[in-house]
Chain A
Amino acid sequence: MSMNRRQFLKIAGVSTVLGIGGGTVVTGLRRTGLEASQVSPDPRALKAKRWGFVVDVSKLKTDEDYQKCVDACHGIHNVPDIGNPKDEVKWIWKDTYERTFPTTSEDEHMNKELKEKKFLLFCNHCAQPACVRVCPTKATFKRQDGVVMQDMHRCIGCRFCMAACPFGARSFNYRDPRGVDASGRPFIRKENPQFPTRMIGVVEKCTMCYERLAIGQQPACAEASNGAILFGDLDDPNSEVRKVISSTFTIRRKPELGTQPSIYYVIGGTEHA
């Protein structure tokens, strides 16, 4: 079962419907019908050995710059806004330096600008992902191009992956994401019919816009970032991301844990930084 499924994913290049959850296959079919990409590789599909990002926070100036990326992602992926931090679901968000790099921030004399700098956080699509290692059902798995996928149909909601991910990248649907809050407001304000909604009791996270890569588009956050987020193949020495990484000082979150995050941050900003 698992092999067939995996092979299918490979043949399909990207699994527009299945990857995000067979439970939504029916919905997907009803709403959009099968697309060509699900049965044969789309010639437009972006391909790489290992996808990765460079996030240059010096290019993110205003709150709006950050919010644009967050909204782009959450909007097209039907990420519910539950409205309380306890049950919160988020794929990408803004956070402080101290919270982004907690192991390097025990410094009382830290540069003020850096201390106040905000970062964009999302799943690192680690090369050695702890989440994939622990999942008892292969509901989270790594694709050959480096995308760490999440099959919301297979997930049993044990939340082992949430305990294991050192980056807090994962959210659990503590409430029904298709539901409404106490005042009747739907958690998903405006549903994107092109992308499945999830169900109660499963874990979700950023899936690197696999559905966009399949039709030759960049991840939504990169597209909305005005050049602050670069996307490319980390295994290709000529890719844009690799050129930045080799010429600029970049840092990754908690590299000491050996998960090999695929997001590189450029802080820039001051001359001495």
Chain B
Amino acid sequence: MLEKALVGSKRYWLWLGVLIAIIGVAFIQYLRQYGYGLGLTGLSRDVSWGLYIGQFTFLVGVAASAVMLVIPYYLHDFKKFSKIVILGEFLAVSAVIMCILFIFVDMGQPTRIMNVVLNPTPNSVMFWDFIVLSGYLILNIVIGWTTLAADRKGVRPPQWVKPLIYLSIPWAVSIHTVTAFLYAGIPGRHFWLTAVMAARFLASAFAGGPALLIILALLVRRFSKFDPGQEAIQAVGKIVTYAMFANVFLLGLEFFTAFYSNIPGHMHPFKYLYTGLEGHGKLVPLMWTSSVMALVSLVLLVFPGLRRNENILAFACISLFISLWIDKGFGLIIGGFIPNMFEGVTEYWPTGPESMITLGVWAVGFLVLTVLYKVAVSVREETAGMPDNH
């Protein structure tokens, strides 16, 4: 089926060209970082994780969100998702690939990555994260590819994928739970030491991932003859709305506990993020942008009348996605490091090369996504009008 990715319109090739150019520039920056060291980034002794790990965390959420389509379709036989579900699975594949790349570019000694497998360490959450992410990647490639191949031939997918599909559901939850445990089990970082961390991660994932999917589905419909289905898109919109409310609610819980208890260690990171601390407030404008965009998206999503208008829906989804990207892809990680272990403030801001490398990883993700979607869309265009068999 991969040959489908090799034929395309001029626009398709132009888009791929742009992505490859970005990847090329980013790769050169990465080589610089590899030679000079991570000192090329804005990271420091006090803020030792930053943009890369933030993006990693955010994208694990995007990857996990495929489950929001898989559950209704495969468990509840919600037929309207028959066409869109493949988009979710392929989005998960490209998101996990980005996750792995972000870990890779963040490592001081990337050539030693196999040490994680050679010296399995079950007490390390990172070891488990490595396992569940690789497993999830394989699951989604296998499931997406076989169901699509079966579709193309107009037959049912082979029996053996069904158990894999069911397995992928708890597995999706596990990848994001384990990722939350990276943070939520660390003593001394008050901002992260919260039992609702995993719940919040899942809520924001199930809002942000499907929001991205809506945007992608609308784009696919615009640029191809494949229609994921208006009703499917609306149903996903509903999921986004509920999940976003849950997410904002959970964030509210964090605020309550921090400020009502009045424990300084719990309040400081929030103060740093939203008002600035000891005269340092680099993240304040970003965090408020995130809050405003979250609010805007909620207002637009909560009224079914507004949501039904696809332009408004698209706008709300973009707003929500950016909001969560800031909140989880940036603020959540940096907030854990400020104030530092000495209650002092060392600020962090990504450098140019660091941002370029980040952009490059996203470009790889979009490249993979474009190719996979191209295949899926071409198959769907071929089989348009044929009944669904699974």
Residues in chain A within 8 A of chain B (CB atoms): 1-2, 85-89, 95, 98-100, 102-103, 105-106, 130, 133-139, 154-160, 162-168, 171-176, 199-203, 254, 257-259
Contacts and interface: CB of A to CB of B under 8 A. Distances in A.
Interface size classification for chain B: 35 or more
Contacts of B109: 155-157, 199, 201-202
Contacts of B173: none
**Chain B CB within 10 A, most for which of A98, A134, A136, A159:** A136
A157 B126 contact: no
Contacts of A139: 115
A89 B112 CA distance: 22
Interface string B183-203: 100111100000000000000
A87 B39 contact: yes
B130 interface: yes
**Chain B CB within 10 A, most for which of A2, A199, A200:** A200
The secondary structure that dominates the A interface is loop
B187 A257 contact: yes
Interface in B4-63: 36-39, 43-46, 48-49
A201 B124 contact: no
A157 to B, nearest CB: 2
B182 interface: yes
**Chain B CB within 10 A, most for which of A85, A130, A171, A201:** A201
19 contacts: A85-B45, A87-B45, A136-B124, A155-B112, A156-B109, A156-B112, A157-B38, A158-B103, A160-B126, A160-B182, A164-B186, A164-B187, A167-B341, A168-B342, A175-B39, A254-B188, A257-B187, A258-B187, A259-B187
B107 A156 contact: yes
Nearest to B111: A156
B188 A86 contact: no
B108 A138 contact: no
B291 interface: no
Contact of B46 (A137, A138, A167, A168): A168
A256 to B, nearest CB: 9
B37 A173 contact: yes
A104 to B, nearest CB: 11
Contacts of B127: 136
Contact of A130 (B37, B119, B188): B188
Contact of A134 (B107, B124, B265, B336): B124
A137 B119 contact: yes
Interface in B72-130: 103, 106-110, 112-113, 115-116, 118-119, 121, 123-127, 130
B189 A201 contact: no
Given A85-B44, A136-B130, A200 B108 contact: yes
B334 to A, nearest CB: 12
Contacts of A259: 187
Given A86-B39, A87-B44, A134-B126, A158 B340 contact: no
